[in-house]
Structures are given as C-alpha cells and as structure tokens.
Amino acid sequence: MGWSLSLGSIAGTRIRIHITFLMFLAWIGAASWQTGGQQAAIDGVLFIIAIFACVVAHEFGHIFAARRYGARTRDVILLPIGGIARMEQIPEKPAQELVVALAGPLVNVVIAGAIIAVLGPDAVAASLNDNAPSRLLPELAAANMFLAVFNLLPAFPMDGGRALRALLALKMGRVRATDLATRIGHVLALGMGLWGLTQGKPILMLIAAFIWFGANAENRQTQLHAASSRACIADAMLTGLATLGTGALLSEAAALMVHSTQGDVPILDEHDRPVGLLTRGGLAHGLHDMGGDMPVTSVMLRDVPVLPAAEGLEAGLSALEHSGAPGVLASDAYGRFAGLLTLESLGRLLLFKRGAVSD
C-alpha cells in the first residue's frame, strides 16, 4: 500500500503506518487543543497512540495464531479504521481459521482484564463515571472491551464474520459459506451505514463501506481460488494474441496497438519463448522519452512470471498476486509462448463457470 511509513519489525512482521493515520492523530490533537488546551491535546494523542498499540497487539494475536499453522505475515498497516495484517495466506481449514479469527479479540479481552485486575473493577468504574484526572488506563480498558465486542460483530470480513464463515464452512463448504457470510456482512454493513447516517457518525459509515467492499473483495478472491483449484492455466489464458520479437521497434509496437484492443504485447525471442511483456503504459512512456527507434526490449517488463500452460490455475493466480505483474506468460511443452493469463481473463473464466463452481 502506498503512502505508508515503516516503523520497524516485530518477529519478522513489518509495522507500517499509513499517512491518513498521522493525519488522524493531527486532527485529534487539534480538536482536543481547541476544547481543552495543550494538556488535552497531549492526552488525546497519547490515548489514540495507546489504543493503536492495542490494535497492533490485536493484529499480532491473529499473526501468531496464523503462524502456528504455517502462515506468514509480511506486514501490518495502521489505518484510522484499525490495523490490517497482510497474511500471505489465511489457513483454509475451518477450525484453524476460527482460532486465527478469535485470537485477535482475545488479546483485547486480556488487556482489558489485566487493567481491571490491577486497578480493581470498582476503581475503573468510578474513574470512568466521575471525571477523574487520570483516566487513561480505565478508558483504555473500556476501549479494549469495545474493540473486542466490535470486532466480534458477525460482519464478514471482520473477525466475527470470519469466525462465522469458518463455522458455516464446517457445514456447507468454503465457497458457499463465504457467499452466505458476505450476504450477512452486507446486511450488517447496510444497517451500520444507515445508523451512522441518522446518528451523524461518519466513522460508522466509513467502516460500513469498508465492510461492504471488503466482503465483496474476499468473496471474489475465495471464488477465484475455488475455480482455479479445478482448472489449469490453459483454461483461463488469453490466446491468439499479437506478439513481437525482441528485435521489434517501439514504432512497430505503436502501429500494432493502434489497430488492436489488446492491452499488453508479449515479447518473444527467436525461438518464440516469452521474455517479457510490453504494456500500453510502458510503450507510451518509451515513445515519449526515447522516440520510436528504440527496441521494445528497452521498455518491456522483464520480471513477468512464465509458467507452463498445463500448470494448475492456482499456481498462476498466486504468481499473479505475488509478482504484481499485469499478467503471467504461459508456455507450451517446448517453452514457446502459448498465452497470457490476466486477472481479467481469470474473472471471465469465473463468470462463465460460476454455475459449476461449488465445493
């Protein structure tokens, strides 16, 4: 994700802070300064930082639970709406997913419980009620209870929704469970959004939108993976594409692209083996910066994965996701170019095989 700063790593997972979170801190500081002066501004910012430390601890609850099942996590990003742990894969066994989903909120329960145990429940309740001067810890306990309860709402893809999906997956399989959890998530998001609208709480509307689109994205992802587990790259790749040799010039590529709807042109060596991909954007930049007499190899993408067309689609999808390239070049048994797998072509396979996809 762009616009984020790295704060360092904990146990091999990088912690990043998104620029909007820094803006959020500045906004809290300014708002508290206006109402209560300098001390209020410092308290406000300290409190938010303390809460986000708890959010990071929550994410590490998920991360350490997932690590038990062999899933690594590259980084955690702090956004104003909370933290997002980007795991390389979430364990797909329902029981494991259930444990990973519940481990985060459990951390908040433990933090709140520890504060209440140290200060005593009566002291916590008292300082929350009458405006006592040092309310940071009691407020932190309350915030952690709220975080635990809020995250356990069964709104997929929030933790409670993931737990629900895992429970449903025990009964009906992962694809249908995700579909149902997504629909429940949509209903809850809609309710939360309307509630935020009538109560004048834009943050609820923001979270509702995050749930709505997050549920859609994960549902699509799950379906893509399910469809890919039963197909090979050749089933989903684009064929019949125009290609160019390594000796072709940018002017030739431009002439080709003018007459074609094709977005990217595979570049092949003299044995028809794929060596790179010329994108529309790359071509436009090349023409602008260097003119038409340069070879296509000077601007083509070189780090595009090449996989055999007979390989499983799951491998193609994961190469697409991890490389960040616009496509995967597929080769035949002799290493010659056979087709191009893109997210769009995968989506089309999903669209036409949708009826057949279930598990």
CA distance 291 to 295: 10
Closer by beta carbon to Zn ion, 159 or else 314: 159
Nearest C-alpha neighbor of 71 from the set 17, 12, 18: 12
For 117, other C-beta atoms within 10 Å of its C-beta total: 11
Whole-Å CA distances, 23 to 33, 35, 355: 15, 19, 46
Cβ neighbourhood burial of 317 (10 Å; 0-12, 13-18, 19+): buried
Closer by beta carbon to Zn ion, 97 or else 159: 159
Q: How far is the CB of 56 from Zn ion (least distance, A)?
A: 11
Residue among 59, 97, 139, 218 flagged as catalytic: 59
Is 321 an annotated catalytic residue?
no
CA distance 285 to 287: 6
Closer by beta carbon to Zn ion, 21 or else 337: 21
Closer by beta carbon to Zn ion, 152 or else 283: 152
Q: How far is the CB of 77 from Zn ion (least distance, A)?
A: 13
Q: How far is the CB of 107 from Zn ion (least distance, A)?
A: 9
Residues 6 or more apart from 254 whose CB is under 8 A from it? 283, 287, 292
Chain residues binding Zn ion by CB under 5 A are 104, 159
Q: How far is the CB of 159 from Zn ion (least distance, A)?
A: 4
Report the residue closest to Zn ion, judged by CB.
104
CA distance 111 to 246: 60
Q: How far is the CB of 242 from Zn ion (least distance, A)?
A: 47
Going by DSSP bridges, is the β-strand pair 244-245/274-279 parallel, antiparallel, or unpaired? unpaired
Q: Is the bond preceding residue 154 a cis peptide, omega within 30 degrees?
A: no
Closer by beta carbon to Zn ion, 159 or else 218: 159
CA distance 268 to 284: 20
CA distance 279 to 300: 7
Please name the amino acid found at residue 6: S
Active site residues: 59
